Amino acid sequence: MKKKKVIILSILVCLIVVFFTAYRFVIVGGRIIKIDANPDKGFYTEYYLFIPDTIKASDSTFLLVESNNTGFVDDSHKKHMNAAYHTIRLGQPNWIARKLGIPLLIPCFDRPESHWRMYTHALDRDSLLCGNDSLVRVDRQLNYMIDDAKTILATKGIYLKDKIFLNGFSASGSFGNRFAALYPERVAAVSAGGINGLAILPMDNLQDYKLIYPVAIADIKQIAGLEFQLPVFASIPQYYYMGADDENDALPFDDAYSSLEREIIIDTLGEDMNVRWDNCQKLYESQGINAVFNIFEGVGHETTAEIDADIVSFFMQVMDEYK
């Protein structure tokens, strides 16, 4: 009987350890607010705001923004909303926001199965070309959400700086990297991981290829009505990371890249993720981009406590520079 109790106790201890390892961000200290869609203000879906209990009183603070990343296609808006809520309540950005003492915004954009090639959560080319009302120009919708959040938070005595912090991992990491290239004037710093060894290139041409979006920025004027601002983008502190054992490569999949985009990437940057990563880093350095590229040994397509601590330190350094 005693032996049986010991076994049961051991199993319970193991379960507790696994639980807190998998959900190291499980403790939520703060308030979550759902803001309904408001087409009159320019956004056609809901977004969530998290106000941490650790928020620091000051004249102004940063807003942390991360795109929602459901991880699958589905025509159920509720599923994408639930995934966004789970992230803002239990995910990495919640922990980062609490450590930094700043509010967090996560939108509830759909990633529809009926338009599966449109990878809204990664801000791909199809997203910029989308004519569907609820998903038209999610990049602009996010800008309007940020403006709206600034007004809402001000009524609560929380005043935001004009520029935001961007964070993301995997698809939301690609979203953050690409959003920073499209709107560098709005971004104070960006952190992104697990982006398939593919940071958006800050150039028009390479090896006789026109570098179309989202490989680079050659045609963003044509498809998005935006001028690329290299000096502004180059000045943004940027932190990119990937696991040395990461094998989650989106390049072969048609929802992430078209056949033309895939051809350009393979011919100019390489087919292997690690080769692409090295080439992106070299090209960022050649353009004078203020970016750090980190590889974490023994890590796959995931974040770890070490990575999370690095991200917090990175953003804290930027906060200190703004004081």
d(CA 207, CA 313): 37
Q: What is the pLDDT confidence band of residue 300, given thresholds at 50, 70 and 90?
A: very high
Residue 293 lies in a domain: yes
298 occurs within a structural domain: yes
Q: Domain holding 188: CATH number?
A: 3.40.50.1820
Provide the domain limits for residue 50.
28-322
9 pLDDT above the threshold of 60: no
| Residue 175 included in any domain | yes
CB 48 within 8 A of CB 30: no
- The structural domain count of the chain equals 1
- pLDDT at position 59 is 72
Within a domain: residue 10?
A: no
- What is this structure's pTM? 0.90
Which residues are paired to 49 by β-bridges?
33, 105
SS3 for 240?
Answer: strand
Is 7 inside any structural domain? Answer: no
17 domain residue, yes or no: no
pLDDT digits over 170-189, tens only? 999 999 999 999 999 999 99
- Amino acid occupying residue 205: N
> Is residue 258 a part of any domain in this protein?
yes
Structural domain contains residue 5: no
